[in-house]
């Protein structure tokens, strides 16, 4: 499993703890930043991580900002991304099992480190259940394809 991870300044500390946790479990990851607590605009990091996942360079992404809202909104603008804002273990499991989420978003100001690690563990260990959920996720992908066609864009744009 290959993980793309990133944060803004408000999510930096939690991202660092998540990176340490991934490293302890020998889960391969790449840190897309930020690299400290100096102010960083969350869209810059979210777009890098989301594009890396959408292009297949990484299996999943993990994004952290203050609330997780900005990261999830931005990541979901990238075609092929299904970013889920999860502040509970249940949400993380449902994001994978029902929505086939490929980017996990959390808020460093909202969830503590222990809960965040459990959310990440649950997210990474859960698998897409397919069946009726595959039909629904397929509808999202079909809509994205129609939008790209109408706008004359490709997945690489």
CB atoms within 10 A of CB 74: 23
The pTM (predicted TM-score) of the whole model is 0.90
Indicate which residue of 34, 65, 86, 105 is catalytic.
65
Indicate which residue of 30, 87, 98, 133 is catalytic.
98
* 54-80 residue pLDDT tens: 999 999 999 999 999 999 999 999 999
* 34-48 residue pLDDT tens: 999 999 999 999 999
Task: Respond yes or no: is residue 133 known to be catalytic.
Answer: no
Task: Respond yes or no: is residue 87 known to be catalytic.
Answer: no
CA–CA distance, 153 with 138 (Å, rounded to integer): 19
For 115-151, give the DSSP string: HHHHHHHHHHH-----THHHHHHHHHHHHHHHHHHHH
Structural domains of the chain, with CATH:
2-151 (3.40.1400.10)
State residue 105 phi and psi, 5-degree precision: -120, 140
């Amino acid at each position: 499993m290959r993980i793309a991870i990133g944060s803004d300044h408000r999510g930096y500390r939690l991202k660092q703890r998540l990176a340490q946790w991934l490293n302890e479990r020998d889960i391969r990851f790449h840190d897309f930043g930020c690299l400290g607590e100096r102010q960083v605009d969350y869209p810059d990091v979210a777009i890098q991580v989301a594009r890396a996942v959408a292009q297949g360079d990484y299996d999943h992404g993990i994004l952290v900002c203050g609330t997780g809202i900005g990261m999830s909104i931005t990541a979901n603008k990238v075609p092929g991304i299904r970013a889920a804002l999860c502040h509970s273990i249940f949400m993380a499991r449902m994001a994978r099992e029902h929505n086939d989420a490929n980017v996990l978003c959390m808020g460093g100001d909202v969830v503590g480190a222990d809960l965040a690690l459990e959310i990440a563990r649950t997210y990474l260990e859960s698998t897409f259940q397919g069946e009726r959920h595959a039909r629904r996720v397929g509808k999202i992908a079909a809509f994205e394809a129609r939008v790209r066609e109408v706008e004359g864009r490709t997945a690489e744009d």
